[in-house]
Structure 1
């Protein structure tokens, strides 16, 4: 392992680079690089390590430009390791540029099949060993909680304690079960949003009608379709999301040469929300996080699209269509330039029925690792019903169930939230 060190704001920062196998099972040759940035507060060199698993999939670890929130609280007790999960950040990124060198769609799908939570856990284990740590603590947000649950299933003896925020996954069952619940919650959030901002309902109808009759291009060059525009609803799942969507819709039109057009600012802001240029891996791998072979009923087969088609209130053809949430649809791989090059790979992954199970219910039922998990009553992305069932299935897990936060509670109130979880863990 190679390490570079520098100082910032009363902390030593160690940047670790480690070569790890592409395929931890050894069937496929090759290695990739794993990157992690470790922060150590002055006086904290002897503290135990805590590894952070970012939400996603396909998102790099956060790059703090200052130390605050949950990170500041964690550094009071730990050395904190911010891990770039494989395929993200500096960990051999997987995007349309690098995947072009992998080969055709089939080769890309075979390659990306090694980028799920089981491989992330195996990477973390090699990093832990390289750092000389016998056991360490884990903090996982959203998908990071899915990774933490996989860790509890596969290597619990290497964990001191586990903290999860908005990220307890269903242990079994098809992706359809998840999406039926998230679509229902998305419909409720739509109703709450338009009740708070009733004028925005008329603006939404006006934008939708305009897009059906006028070609409007996003900054990345492609036409903005109605169905793609509706994906701005993903913002409804954050603590400031209602205001974000409201501000987006406050003045979308301008008259140019006597013609009604969408403002450049509006198109740029919409593009920033719906484009996957910054994290294409999220789009390609999103449904695979629910794929566990027989434990999840086989292939996901574009479950979000299938469930949406069963819900007429989510039809994009309505005069007043509902905004959608954290859902990936096959048509995005024809409309989003960042996803077009990986369309064939995405189709193959969606059809794959033999992904291995990520969680071991029997191991979790006998768990001895201290675990605390924050579960949000109104979470748009990780249904509380499934999280509560998993909380009961993991022996000794101490849940913090609250309606105080949306999905981004760790961002909105990280210091307080982490402190509450640590208190619950150690009570």
Structure 2
């Protein structure tokens, strides 16, 4: 462990840490990679007197999933205000994200061929992330266990932690991230598409004028896909993927405001506005999180004999209402998609295009090992509390509740007050409720 810098923000003292860990924890003497973590302590508190809280994140603002570095807070924003009352917090950039030996179109070619790149990416699932946490914990805590807070995919990591190294934990707090212990990628998406359709219908009920706007934009793109600065291509399918907004607390409103400014008059007739195209590009680009697209389906792979094989694309074919061209030929509203990754992502996004062959190889890969241990979870002794969002678009509520029943002692807070981003939207209150649950104060 190396302490790089220490500095201040309003109400906090921050310390940058760097750690060296094995790329493959099964080969501890092999290649090593660097991890980055930002320690946060409230001003005026003695860090040595505080227990540690490790934060593992999927993206809070829109959705969940692997591939995102920890949020860059300023001061005591959101849930951090509550955490700093009791803890010394480590905001960890998970391997391959942020400042932790980043994985992207610029760095992956250093690994060699697409096949070698795919082999490299096989080490970026929850099992490796938990091994990283256990590797760095003794140097930070002196060997003491710590509390983990897992948002979205971070919750998947927390359940893996409970399955493989519960001795490293004093408690686990999970928000919007209780995974199915056994579901395949196909099963995950078969459950997801009906939830996504429900979110679409709720959006159009709130903003009925958006049904015609979305059809008009889709019809325009079906004839003339838009080429954006930097090489991004806005196709009908890419436009539909703006539905990823619909799982956030204010996502429906954001989508509405984006659609209402879509067209401007020009001498050649109505055209998609620069403002709309730039807004869509900013929401759809994977430049800041390519690992999300590359390993998203692999986080559900647990059958050594079965590849994920572009599960979302195959399952979508069983839901013809999501076919934009069929919708345009009839009078059904255009349906947006959600947290799904498709082969066309690797042709329309310049941040992903050079990695298409690597992505195909990952989709065809077998040998994935189970991530969770039901027997160990059934005997769990670590206090666990989880916020389960009643209408979560990204993580199936029924799966989450089945897992909650399978983990001994896990206490749930099931609420429809928040969407998947509840930790951001209601941060201090959400974290306070979970802490009360694990401390038996609620």
TM-score tier after normalising by the smaller chain length: over 0.9
Deviations 1:276-321 (A, max 9, x none): 1111100001000001124xx7211111111100011111212132
**1:292, 1:357 within 8 Å by CA — same for their partners in 2?**
yes
Distance 1:236 1:111 in 2: 33
Q: CA deviation at 1:336?
A: 1.3
Distance, in Å, in 1 between the alignment partners of 2:29 and 2:115 is: 14
Equivalent residue for 1:107?
Answer: 116
Q: Residue 121 of structure 1 aligns with which residue? A: 130
Q: CA deviation at 1:66?
A: 2.5
Residue number among 293, 308, 317 corresponding to 1:283 in the alignment: 293
Aligned match of 2:312: 304
RMSD (CA atoms): 1.2
Does residue 1:23 correspond to 2:32, yes or no?
no
Residue-by-residue CA offset, 1:391-414 (whole Å, 9 max, x unaligned): 000000001111111000000001
What TM-score, normalized to structure 1? Answer: 0.97
CA contact (8 A) 1:51 1:81 kept: yes
CA shift at 1:387, angstroms? 0.4
Give the 5 Å matches for 1:18-417.
Answer: 18-26=19-27, 29-41=30-42, 42-45=44-47, 46-55=49-58, 56-131=65-140, 132-294=142-304, 298-317=306-325, 318-319=327-328, 320-417=333-430
Q: Distance in 2 between matches of 1:44 and 1:182?
A: 46
Q: Residue 217 of structure 1 contacts residue 267 of structure 1 at CA under 8 Å; is this kept in 2?
A: no
Greater Cα offset, 167-176 or 6-15 = 6-15
Give the match for residue 61 of structure 2.
none
| 8 Å contact kept, 2:9–2:74 | no
State the distance in 1 between where 2:28 and 2:71 align. Answer: 32
CA distance in 2 between counterparts of 1:226 and 1:7 reads 46
Task: Provide the rounded CA distance (Å) in 1 between the counterparts of 2:46 and 2:126.
Answer: 30
In the aligned structure 1, how far is the partner of 2:433 from the partner of 2:160? Answer: 23
Q: TM-score, normalised by structure 2?
A: 0.94
Contact 1:219 1:267 in 2 (8 A): no
Which consecutive aligned stretches of 4+ in structure 1 deviate over 4 angstroms post-superposition?
none
1:35 to partner: Cα distance: 0.5
CA drift at 1:182: 1.4
In structure 2, how many angstroms separate the alpha carbons of the residues matched to 1:179 and 1:129?
Answer: 38
Shift of 1:27: 7.9
SS at match of 1:75: helix
Contact 2:155–2:174 at 8 Å: present in 1 too? Answer: yes
**What secondary structure does 1:90 align onto?**
coil
Aligned residue-pair number: 425
Q: Contact (CA 8 Å) 2:22, 2:28: kept in 1 or not?
A: no
Task: Show CA shifts across 1:341-389 (max 9, x none).
Answer: 1111111111112111111111101000000000011000000010000
Aligned to 2:62: none
| Secondary structure in 1 matching 2:314 | helix
